[in-house]
Structure 1
Amino acid sequence: MKTTATQYPWTEELERTVVHSLATSFGLDFLLFKDKVGGEVDTINNARQGIWASGKEKQRYENREPYDSDKYHDKYVEKKDSIYKKTGENDKISQQKGMLHDAYRDTTMARNDPRDLDHVISAKEIHNDPGRVLAELDGVELANQSSNLQSTHQSINRSMGETSIDDYLAKLPELIENHEKSLAGHQKRLASMPRDTPAQQHEARQLEDKIRKKEEKIKALKSVDSEAMRQRDKEAREPYNQQINQKYYTSSKFWKQTAGASAVAGLNMGTRQMLGLIMAEAWFELREQLPKTLEKLKTNFGLDAFMTSMQQTLQGIWQRIKLRFKDFLTSFKDGAFAGILGSATTTLFNVFATTQKMAIKIIRELWGSLVKAVKLLIFNPQQLPFVDLCKAVTAILSVGAATVAGTMIYTQLLPLCNFPFGSELASFASALVTGLITLGLNYFLLYSRLADKVWAFVDALMPHASSVRKFQAINAELDRYLTELGRIELNLDADELAEFAQQLASCNDELQRGLLLKEEIAKRDIELPYKIGNSASTRKWLASLVK
């Protein structure tokens, strides 16, 4: 069960908690964080799915300038201060020194490798991205920033063209196969070529050179590391999407739409939602970093180490967010909200520090909940489906976390309520901390040294648990097959039989029972050895049984 439980996406429960808090505390329901269809305000996610709230924005996207490859490549490279040119020059020097890393192959490029500088997110994809058009950002500048440029083997870059990395990796095996077929054809042709005259020898040498290049191309394509390539794609998309989100969601265009769509008018609501967006930005960045942190702490997981790591991560995120939203924070009400947020974040970091110190106490006080959760995972008394079982475990731990940590969090966040929008900030901070403690407890349950002892003890008590589960699965599949076989071969329907048995049991006398049986026999076309209602026929049949 432990192995199965580790495969459950525990962070999704935290996601639901935080997004719900953002929607309720700051009135951000209209942002549609869950990519719901529709809405009165254009959002980046909806635009990318072809869903537009504004006909004007839809028309502006449809009438966008056609994609011009030269504009994104050659014309941009000609610019004196182009990042593309500088990156290419720096990578050339690194390659000559034998220090250039090719992230697509997860290897160091050889000094003699033919090198190309690739746009990780293709220039064409960026140009045609509805999110970019909605945010009114320059596609050429976005495509040619350093985070989107990657030196790789020429064969890889040129075989990709304008396709995305996911699409390229999907077609790569077929691409290699086609090149290998072509190579085999060249080799077969070379083997039968005459070399008697200088012209024939020259033609053979040309084909040999073509074969050599084809072999190099195949070797380069086979050296692609799909996981490393996807990771590089992710690293390029994170800053790309952040820039688009920041530009659009802090733009006057977005807030004008919001003002029209919002049920509450005025600056007060707009400011509340703006603060919510800042909190949302913090959450989105934390969400991206959570998997790495959890993976790093998996071995001998400790709740104190986890909370310390979360505190340090959030401090780094907050420094970056202050730079992104500095205009809003400093201009509104003479910087009053910068002070409020400063107090809020200081308080939040203190909460994390206190939680880290209280980790042992929290585990001690939640021991009953942890025991209940372990027993639920092991025995599953209500036979819940796996997803429902994991949700039930999270519910047990979240109630415990809210009970134990709630008082401490409330006490520290209470002073915030004296500020404008302080109660909303306190509510969000409380949800975030409680959610992170719950996530930490989930991982404590699976990966801590103490939990390892529990799981080892359970395995010792139940050495054949996996075999039992296997036979249970086989038994369930056999039941399903036999039910289906009976339905097909014997014209049996379990639901119909159950309904018939219920009707039979509800009959009050023999007459009703006889009529019901007669009706069912006729419906199923059953042949009886006697005639119903004919006593002579019935006696004759009974007598035949005695012989």
Structure 2
Amino acid sequence: MNESVERFRRKRAILAAAGLSPQHSVHLAPLTQAESVSACGLPAVLPGDVNQSFVAVDAEALLAEIHGKLDSEKIGALVDACQQECLQAIIRPLGLARALFNDKDGGNVDTVHNARNKVYATDAEREKYNEHTRSNEYNDKVSHQYHHNKGYTENNAKSSAAQKADGVVDAYTGKVLRRDDKKDQDHVVSGKEVHEDRGRVLAEVDGVALANSETNLKPTSRTLNRSKQDRTAENFIKYVEEVKIPNLQKDIAALEAKPSLTPDEQRILADHKRQLQEFQSLDKEKLRAADAAARKEINGKINKAYYTSKKFIKNTAVTSATEGGKMALQQAIGVLMEEFVRAAFAEVKDVWRNGFKGKVDDTFLDALKLRLMRVADRVQAKWKHAAVAFRDGFISGFLSNLITVVINAFVTTSARWVRITREGFMSLYRALKTLAFPPEGMSLAEAADAASKLMMAGVVTGGGILLEEIVEKKLQATALLAPIAPYVSAITVGVATGLCTVLAIHLLDRLDLFGVNAKIRHEHVMAKLDETISHSYTRAREAAAAFDPPPLLHLT
């Protein structure tokens, strides 16, 4: 380009010496076109020909022409990309995924959170809990174990000794319980709840020892303890406010409305007033704080026991490897199937244009064999791409399963979201790979631009998976389409997903967040201008050599 610029500068200097100035519009010269203008429309100006008109290039028209060609090329590429993305969407996330994956609510590994919500990844753990409830039901015998455990009796004896000495603070009211007050030792999280906790059973933690930790044992009045029973803190608060206090107030009002009371009624009235006072003195925040502390310790022990267990680690490793293998197959087979479909369509086009047989004397089987061999060669040539896709698919599938397990430790995911996580992570993996290890010659801005498009493709694919569920349900509601609903939804949504992917990527191109597209257009325009100038220069020298050598010696 530097040589072209230098030639342009020399020509400009000659024009200036001749007293001429560059034009920005086309002027027709009285001379013939062969005499006055080169093949590409650039002027052939002779030194000293001040009175001679010339033809100059319309810069804006030339740029418009170059940009128009570039835009037409982009439209062609956009159509090809639409075909490719539609094919990929149908074959990979919406086609092969159905055959390879059996997604279910909660993922492939049991978690404490999911078990407590009655969502199990394995039938073995579900049956294990069912057997626990059948053979180890919480009854008086089991309750006795929870209330006569060594930890319980020692803690109770300690608080009773403190009560006899200086009094002990009621954990739920903040008042001091004196020697004559009736005190109980309460399981903040009831023994029944701990015993029937699905998470505890999954983690195989001893319920008696867990329920009788010091944090879960609190002294309180007998009235509050025996009214609380196996209720949670919130349920107990609601019960006290909506049931106990209103009922006591009603009974007290009825007794006080009587003109006279029997000794039993007087005793009942006094007892009701004492209970009302105790229930009204319940400190909801203290109760909630005690409940939160107890649950934190219990959950911490259960989570630590389960998530560090060999059972969990083994299940996570096995399922992650399995999911990685399935994802690897999906990606590798997808590459080969996509090439097979493209090759097959290319053969169909060729048949349409040129006929089925290549030669007149070919038999049908010979022609068919030749075409099939061409398809097979194209598919075989993709084996390296398939190997790379297999590797990337395995890594992505393995990691996406780990992420799904982590998510399900806190939130139960639906089967559809498990699938979205898997397909979305594939796009995320590709984007991060592009950013971390960009291809040779790719700048950071170009890598960021490519990564943003990969992420956009992942987002659109996730939307396509959600849309597929809606479309499939609508089709299944129609008796005629119900048998083929999965296939129709996969194809239609696959096409829609592919088109949306390409349009979204085209939108990113238009936005040009990283300036990559502008740089490409600039380089394209400069290359075309360089080509035009070089071509004009060559033609000008050829014309000078043929017709009028002396005046154009300056071009050498």
TM-score by length of 2: 0.38
TM-score by length of 1: 0.38
Larger relative contact order (CA 8 Å, sep ≥ 6): 2
Structure with the greater alpha carbon radius of gyration: 2
